[in-house]
Structure 1
Amino acid sequence: MSSIRQNKVERVVQEELSMIFQRNARELCLGAMVSATVVRVTPDLSLARCYVSVFAGPPKEEVLENIKLNVSKIRGEVGKRLKNMSRIPELSFHIDDSLDYANEIDELLKK
């Protein structure tokens, strides 16, 4: 069960990541449109698992690899924007495949 503080941190980190991806799409996302869909923070606020969806562009794996290469820069940007947080969680990025899974189920139901 997530605490209120965890939920607030998750929401704020997700919003900041979305803005960072939007502003730096060419550099960080290889020109693809990337959206931070879900952020899950551990109870001690030391790690944030960030799930991203990749639309219209290079293969998802390439975009994710480039994001992982720039994770320290992204974390620094988040830290600059969230000055009131004493400690910024480590960021771990993963592909959000929930849309693909939903489409697969939808196709199976149509049969």
Structure 2
Amino acid sequence: MQTTRQQKIARQIQRDIAEILQRDGAAIAAGSMITVTTVRVSPDFGYAKIYFSIFPFAKAEEVMRSLESNNWFLRRELGKRIRNQLKVVPELQFFLDDSLEYIENIDSLLKE
């Protein structure tokens, strides 16, 4: 279970990463829409697991590779925004949140 501080920092990171992607993410997104669904922060604030939902799902693998290759850029921009709240900018780990794809599959199966 996360502490209140972890939850606050996770929400702040989620907002900041979403804003960074909205402002500078044209090259990273490659014609896709990226949504930051969840952020989980480790107890020592050393790592942040960031979960993304990507539309269209067919481009998800390409966008995830692009996110990984631009990890340094996202971390640097995040550091500029949270430098007054944390001493060290957390290492960013990216994960694909495929829950929406799963829901669509279940929905299509139920319609059949």
- TM-score normalised by the chain length of structure 1: 0.90
Identity rate, percent: 41
Query: How many residues in Structure 1 have an aligned counterpart in Structure 2?
Result: 111
Residue 19 in 1 paired to residue 19 in 2? yes
Closer, same or farther: CA 31–106 of 1 in aligned 2, 3 Å: closer
Residue 107 in 1 paired to residue 105 in 2? no
Structure 1 residue 55, shift from structure 2 partner: 1.7
Q: Deviations over 1:27-80 (max 9, x none)?
A: 222232211111011111111110111124871101110110010110000000
Local SS of the residue matching 1:61: helix
Q: Which residue number corresponds to residue 45 of structure 1? A: 45
Q: Could you list the runs of 5+ residues in structure 2 that have no partner in the other structure?
A: none
Q: Which residue number corresponds to residue 64 of structure 2? A: 64
Residue 86 in 1 paired to residue 110 in 2? no
Q: Is the 8 A contact 1:11 1:39 kept in 2?
A: yes
Q: Could you list the runs of 5+ residues in structure 1 that have no partner in the other structure?
A: none
Q: Distance in 1 between matches of 2:87 and 2:96?
A: 28
